[in-house]
Structure 1
Amino acid sequence: MPKEKYFFDSGTTKGTYNGSILAYLKSKPVYFDTLTRVIEIAGMNDVLDKQNVTFFAPTSSSIYKSVKGLNAYLRQNGRDTVAKLEQIKPEAWKELLSQYIFKGSNKLKDYPQIDTLNMAAFPGQGYTSMSGRTMNIGVRFNDAVVMEDGVEKSRVKYAGYRQLYIAYIPNYADPKAGLINIPVASSDIAPTNGIVHVLTQEANYLGAWKSKHNFGFSTNLFINTVQSYGILPVTP
């Protein structure tokens, strides 16, 4: 089975890679070239090359999406835009990236059930990321549905395919409210030093990849984090 299957087939549990998490990301430049640049700027190469971690990997398109939103905000406020990723300080990139990284190796089977429409029964669980921020992680058990001629014939609750989610918790005082839920497109990729879960992206009608996810979990959160550390001027 080719490695590309692991990227597109949500829930796959047999993907292995003979190399570190960082090496795996570098082997997929179409999806992760910008991400690996950001990892280097943040000074986090060793974390993903040597430490045992679980990484919910955002694709490069999610980073461009948030940087584009940042530049729109800067233009609206009469400020110079970001032309190079290096203008965003390493400390900002590290804080943002660390929200996607967790100590130890955790596969889909290691996480509890989540039902975003019934959080009282299946709330997922809080896990502390390397940034120190608690994120909600859980597995959505989809219904098993039988269709016939476009008509639903039967449905069995929670008996369908399972999909992993990671969520940003906006308000710890009410951790089940307003979660920013991000689905995983491909789970349980196993490099030699941990586990990679790749976050969802999709192709448009021209075949180009775009992201359903904003790096930092929302454009506003990304902008606030970048501004809190300051933006460097363009260097020749």
Structure 2
Amino acid sequence: MKRSILFGKYFAAVVAIALIVQTGCKKEKGYYDSTPVAGSGNLTAYEYLKSKPGIYDSLLLVVNALGYQQTLTDSSVTVFAPSNQSFKIAISNLNAIRQSLGQAPVYLTQLAKGGDGITDPKARNKANRDRAQLDTMVSMYILRNQYTSTDFSVGDGQSVATVRNNYPMHGQRIYGDAEGHVGGGAALIEYADTKRSLFVSNWSKSRTSSVDIKTKNAIVNLMNNDHVFGFDSFVSRMTLIPAPPDVINPKTDSLWVVFPAGSGYTDGQVSAGEIYKNLFDNTVGTKFICFISVQNNWYPTLYWKPKVPTPVNSYSMTSANDSKQYNRNGRAWRVQGTLADPANDKVPDAQWVTLDVRQEQNWSSNYQLRRWDFNNTVAYKAYRLVLLQTGDGLNPPDQLFQISEWTMNYQDPNQ
């Protein structure tokens, strides 16, 4: 009898402990399934944003000013909606820079208005450029077609295009934290401005707070309040001094490369598809590669003859896919122009005017765009880029030079 009583007490204690453990250590729910939010399906994306007064007023302001209202009303799109706070952070950052430069503050209404009513040509051009930059940034948050968070769940996510300019963005489904479990919460989207870069390390990423809000014509995702409108490029875009336009037109202009006599060098010799014309195809995915020999004074020369004489006061080159690893970037060169008519490369050197000379140039990465300016107002009939040195300056025989893009530019002094 005594043993039975003891066993009963022992059993009761075990049951009590088990109940306490079960109650205090509730099983984790694990990953949450993301399902479209109900109750917004009778609204368009534009109406949904308007139904949240005090939250998306800034977004609606620029949407109305830049002509996105119709898109958010009747087009099939995905929206990543930044809140008023996102715009506030961006504008505050911009005005902090402007204050340090002794400039007056600027506000979102001014940026959205552009150059309307501004009489000074330079100020009007600047305001219109700012409005165009604002347009590009607003478009980053509106994608062609509808995507739910599940569409961003495969592998490393999905590349997507904006409704204007087809600007490349990227989305990847992730999970928030919940109940002490890292990654055990609701589905979110890590949304990224790719900056047109092939390298993920160059992307600017931000997260949503809510996803998959279904409207009549769109899927709406809400950006975190700490997200900065424009990702990390708002200030740089609004303080940008734009690159002057490229004046090379490969459809109408003459373009050719000349290799020194006796060198045996030819276009496409190193690799059949990596030829001179690739410099003018507007993509860093292709390149031009050739030999150069300082020891033998064999300097390849790149020629451009515009259809009509054209002034140039700036130029750029973009390094290629593996230039840095193999020391193939240009180290020294000179840019020249001539008033003679170079139907071929027989124009005497004396008739070429040196406009710019660069030496000991260093490049920091592959796909790096670099620009150089010089003073010139003369409309020369032709220009040439004479390659003098490449790599690290050690000058072994038959060293390789490569770039992916070459532009010649002109900046109007009044712009």
CA shift in 2, pair 1:197/1:146, >3 Å = closer
Q: What is the CA–CA distance in structure 1 between the aligned matches of 2:74 and 2:241, rounded to whole Å?
A: 27
Please name the residue that 2:169 is paired with: 135
- The Cα of 1:142 is off from its aligned counterpart by 5.6
Q: Among all aligned residue pairs of Structure 1 and Structure 2, give the percentage whose two residues are the same amino acid.
A: 23
Is the CA contact (8 Å cut-off) linking 2:176 and 2:185 kept in structure 1?
Answer: yes
CA shift in 2, pair 1:103/1:87, >3 Å = closer
Q: What is the CA–CA distance in structure 2 between the aligned matches of 1:19 and 1:63, rounded to whole Å?
A: 24
Partner SS for 2:80: strand
* More relative contact order, 1 or 2 (CA 8 Å, 6+ apart): 1
Please name the residue that 1:95 is paired with: 136
Partner SS for 1:127: strand
The 10-residue stretch of structure 1 (130-139 or 62-71) with the greater mean CA deviation from structure 2: 130-139
Please name the residue that 1:172 is paired with: 197
Please name the residue that 1:213 is paired with: 227
Tell me whether 1:125 sits opposite 2:158 in the alignment. Answer: yes
Q: What is the CA–CA distance in structure 1 between the aligned matches of 2:147 and 2:239, rounded to whole Å?
A: 33
Please name the residue that 1:206 is paired with: none
1:1-236 correspondence to structure 2 within 5 Å: 11=34, 13-17=36-40, 18-83=42-107, 85-88=109-112, 89=114, 90-113=131-154, 122-130=155-163, 131-141=165-175, 161-170=186-195, 172-174=197-199, 176-201=200-225, 212-218=226-232, 221-228=233-240
Partner SS for 2:216: coil
- The Cα of 1:200 is off from its aligned counterpart by 1.1
Partner amino acid, structure 1, of 2:86 = S
Higher CA-based Rg? 2
Show CA shifts across 1:34-56 (max 9, x none).
21111112221111112111001
Partner amino acid, structure 2, of 1:125 = Q
Partner SS for 2:94: helix
Unpaired stretches in structure 2, ≥5 consecutive residues: 1-31, 115-130, 243-415
| Aligned CA-pair RMSD | 2.8
Unpaired stretches in structure 1, ≥5 consecutive residues: 1-8, 114-121, 148-154, 202-211, 231-236
Is the CA contact (8 Å cut-off) linking 1:112 and 1:138 kept in structure 2?
Answer: yes
Q: What is the CA–CA distance in structure 1 between the aligned matches of 2:218 and 2:69, rounded to whole Å?
A: 14
Partner amino acid, structure 2, of 1:51 = S
The 10-residue stretch of structure 1 (165-174 or 102-111) with the greater mean CA deviation from structure 2: 165-174
Q: What is the CA–CA distance in structure 2 between the aligned matches of 1:12 and 1:199, rounded to whole Å?
A: 17
Q: What is the CA–CA distance in structure 2 between the aligned matches of 1:167 and 1:186, rounded to whole Å?
A: 16
CA shift in 2, pair 1:10/1:187, >3 Å = farther
Q: Comparing both structures, which one devotes a greater share of its residues to helix?
A: 1
- The Cα of 1:141 is off from its aligned counterpart by 4.1
